[in-house]
């Protein structure tokens, strides 16, 4: 009987250790992944800024070489004002979206912490129930053997 319990314990210990080892190994790469994503985002932003600057530079050069104004003076102020309004609205929308995203990620992290505490509590309750059941069964078995 003791050998059977030892084998069962060994199976559970091995399963636990192997699962944790797999998670630990996958965790090692997370910082590299995060850095790679961050680097590609920065490269994308630099490429986008460079593209915008070059396109506008070519348009400006084209407009100055042709004696035909691309934007007529009467609409220049209106265009600048509307463009600034649209840009301000987009920047505010990005800020709000970024804050909502950060809040959602923080809420998800808190949910994982709550889940972890719940698992600990459920495990404690189940352990106590198993101990109580084992105690009850052992007591019943002892009483049965004493009666025989």
Residue 1 is predicted with a pLDDT of 45
Residuewise pLDDT in 10s, the chain (148 residues): 456 667 777 899 999 999 999 999 999 989 899 999 999 999 999 999 999 999 999 888 877 777 666 666 778 888 889 999 999 999 999 999 999 999 999 999 999 999 999 999 999 999 999 999 999 888 888 887 777 6
Give 29's DSSP letter.
Answer: T
Exposure of 49 in the CB half-sphere (CA atoms within 13 A):
6
Residue 3 is predicted with a pLDDT of 64
Residue 74 is predicted with a pLDDT of 76
Distance, in Å, from the CA atom of 60 to the CA atom of 53, rounded to the nearest integer, reads 10
């Amino acid at each position: 009987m003791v050998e059977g319990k030892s084998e069962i314990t060994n199976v559970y210990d091995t399963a636990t250790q192997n699962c944790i080892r797999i998670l630990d190994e996958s965790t090692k790469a997370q910082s590299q992944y995060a850095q790679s994503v961050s680097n590609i985002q920065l490269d994308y932003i630099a490429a986008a800024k460079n593209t915008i600057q070059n396109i506008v530079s070519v348009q400006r050069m084209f407009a100055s070489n042709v004696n035909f104004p691309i934007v007529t003076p009467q609409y220049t102020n209106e265009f600048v004002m509307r463009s600034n309004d649209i840009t301000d609205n987009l920047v505010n929308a990005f800020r709000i979206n970024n804050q909502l995203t950060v809040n959602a990620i923080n809420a998800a992290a808190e949910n994982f912490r709550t889940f972890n505490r719940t698992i600990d509590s459920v495990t404690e309750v189940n352990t106590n129930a198993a101990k109580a059941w084992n105690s009850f069964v052992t007591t019943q078995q002892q009483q049965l053997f004493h009666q025989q």
